Structure 1
């Protein structure tokens, strides 16, 4: 899921001059230390709220809000209690025309959500979005057609005007993530590309490093090892104190580590590691998804998805593969990742996961049910929320799962937001 440090709140600097046509934001007080956690997850256009008990490792459903269409991604403001969400009725087989960006106020005591202003129409389906580290802008990435947009955040957290971007901005093929780097003066846009398929050649992947000033993005550098062939980045996260960028490569089942030095990203990875516990047994449709660095910088987590099915007794059943969270220890001097655990999620197609405000729990969300063969029987495993305790060394300990009724929808996104201490 998203950069958890933004979820738990960072200090927001005092406002300066007007930002790219946006209203000048009022100075924000330092974010209160989070003492509770709210978990949010969607099934289609329904966004549900759960209370998290880190001691008991339990999730309790508290309420729902509806979005204009199916949720695509969400991200919290770094200091104000606001959650931003993109929604769309378009899918792989649905040519939808409804695309929006919404702001939702988070109750600081209960975590309940309430609409904040009217949803803002978007030009296409947004597969990823985030908020800059100072809380002035919402950054939106579009995969098909490739595009980005930047939207002002008003002083009260509502969505303001869109900021005009350079016409010649290079975006690569199938942008999949947009994220502000530490310091908030640079943005990384991750473009995945496509594998060769059906006689169509491979589309290369690329990491775009962009300067970020007053909401305007301008090119600094594009990094595409081997011309981007055999390089299919999906998501990345930053180390909290060192200049290391950890990238999950969806098309290669790989974790790459790059160095970000000022306004330059290393042209090749410092380290490359398989994300799989059994890298010599890669099955069809085996793909990593989300990646998150622990806030203390000691480990990085990557989700692995095994999606392939095969026919059995008239039904499509799971063909095999890894549906796991891989845990990599990060060398404190070099950034080298070492796999120390690959733990089963007891679910299929984990697309998002997150840590709670205390970093004591990790929850992973799978998107849909899966038929699983057990001898001559077939069991339908529902979509799930899988709950793990985080141990002292960053390894995970499985606790429980919660089944999710998805029907014809997907549990497409899940995240957790810290709530401030309120007396």
Structure 2
């Protein structure tokens, strides 16, 4: 299962930064000298854009679309392929939207770009579609039943050797009326687009294991898993015999003790192309309904970890404020020189000085310095937007 090469794959360093706000899909040109973005254009896809993934070999992207969203199932869900004009960044629809049964929350491909994997959260499920020679989405190969797909599927990733599919399932916290529902990693052997359920990784029965997203180290020897409900980063070993049943390292993604009245939840995780650093976004929610009051002060930031080159253990070296609310997604440019965080919701929040501040949706651009730390370079605010900035990424 370990990457036999053990080195990062060389990728085309030229990328645009794409952003979804509701049904609008916009793109920007990054300047790797100033580490800033210039707006180019946008188009409307008529459905809320949930996630986007690039074909590994073709100038094609795949969009997950739904009229649903957080806490809302919706009734119209689809996936769509678009070609990208590398001269302008403009996406062009390849074929009609392909209807899917539930809200698609994440999608990805295998390294050869032969199959498209889509994760669904409510109900939890996973589908596999064949990718045609022209990059368009073909027939459904697999749609997992509910009993095969854990609770609240949030991401699906394929290991670098293309032998294993991992469905990351978040579970649910307990409430006043319900018990905690466990999270897990559903592990499937992958052969020619076919899945075989091999095992479920659920330390302590999945309780206290709110798995959300993972990313692989470029060596192929491990992956880093963000636990949303615990604000932790878990390191899992990948060996010839498979993925370890328990994490080899556990680290908090927070820089200070939990504040009164605050619920913290981390979100996205990305490993730097060099393999020397790993980044995780932290988000602040009120612990109880605010009834119009401002959100208490907490950590809305990007946690920066340095990775030990021998053991792969991550150590927190910085917590970079995103100057906004709920950085749900962020992305690292292929060059490794720039990171952009997306503050997903407008909010009224109490700042570190105890004052209430109105925070719009925003993109925040950082230079990634040689030591992996982030230096703020630009903030782009969307003052009049009342939708969610649900995804942003370099493609």
Q: Do both proteins adopt the same fold according to a TM-score greater than 0.5, normalized to the shorter chain?
A: yes
Query: Conserved in 1, the CA contact under 8 Å of 2:124 and 2:146?
Result: no
CA–CA separation in structure 2 for the residues paired with 1:302 and 1:214: 32
Classify the secondary structure of the residue corresponding to 1:251.
helix
Structure 2 partner of 1:333 = 310
Q: How does 1:21-170 map to 2 (within 5 A)?
A: 34-92=12-70, 94-164=72-142, 170=148
Query: Conserved in 1, the CA contact under 8 Å of 2:268 and 2:281?
Result: yes
Evaluate the alpha carbon distance shift between residue 216 and residue 406 of structure 1 in structure 2; reply closer, same or farther with a 3 A threshold. Answer: farther
Structure 2 partner of 1:30 = none
Indicate the RMSD between aligned Cα atoms, in angstroms: 2.2
Classify the secondary structure of the residue corresponding to 2:293.
strand
* Alignment partner of 2:341 out of 320, 340, 364: 364
Structure 1 partner of 2:327 = 350
Shift of 1:104: 1.1
CA–CA separation in structure 1 for the residues paired with 2:220 and 2:120: 29
Where do 5+ consecutive residues of structure 1 fail to align?
Answer: 1-8, 12-32, 418-423
Query: Conserved in 2, the CA contact under 8 Å of 1:151 and 1:159?
Result: yes
Query: Conserved in 1, the CA contact under 8 Å of 2:125 and 2:145?
Result: no
Structure 2 partner of 1:217 = 195
Structure 2 partner of 1:277 = 255
CA–CA separation in structure 2 for the residues paired with 1:164 and 1:311: 40
Shift of 1:96: 2.1
Where do 5+ consecutive residues of structure 2 fail to align?
Answer: 1-7
CA–CA separation in structure 2 for the residues paired with 1:168 and 1:124: 12
CA–CA separation in structure 2 for the residues paired with 1:311 and 1:371: 13
User: Cα deviations across residues 111-135 of structure 1 (Å, max 9, x unaligned)?
Assistant: 1111111111111101111111110
Query: Conserved in 2, the CA contact under 8 Å of 1:388 and 1:400?
Result: yes
Q: How does 1:307-322 map to 2 (within 5 A)?
A: 307-308=285-286, 315-322=292-299
Pair 1:191 & 2:134 matched = no
CA–CA separation in structure 2 for the residues paired with 1:235 and 1:283: 25
Query: Conserved in 1, the CA contact under 8 Å of 2:259 and 2:297?
Result: no
Shift of 1:92: 3.9
Shift of 1:280: 5.2
Higher relative contact order (CA 8 A, sep 6+): 1
TM-score, normalised by the number of residues in structure 2: 0.93
User: Cα deviations across residues 355-407 of structure 1 (Å, max 9, x unaligned)?
Assistant: 11311100000111111347897432101101000001211111121002463
User: Cα deviations across residues 58-78 of structure 1 (Å, max 9, x unaligned)?
Assistant: 211111122241001110000
Query: Conserved in 2, the CA contact under 8 Å of 1:220 and 1:263?
Result: no
CA–CA separation in structure 1 for the residues paired with 2:255 and 2:144: 43
TM-score, normalised by the number of residues in structure 1: 0.87
Classify the secondary structure of the residue corresponding to 2:205.
helix
Classify the secondary structure of the residue corresponding to 2:40.
strand
CA–CA separation in structure 1 for the residues paired with 2:265 and 2:97: 33
Query: Conserved in 2, the CA contact under 8 Å of 1:10 and 1:133?
Result: no
CA–CA separation in structure 2 for the residues paired with 1:69 and 1:166: 24
Shift of 1:95: 4.7
Shift of 1:260: 1.6
Classify the secondary structure of the residue corresponding to 1:36.
coil
* Alignment partner of 1:399 out of 377, 384, 392: 377
Range that drifts further, 77-86 or 210-219: 210-219
CA–CA separation in structure 2 for the residues paired with 1:214 and 1:169: 23
CA–CA separation in structure 2 for the residues paired with 1:93 and 1:238: 29
Task: Give the number of aligned pairs.
Answer: 387
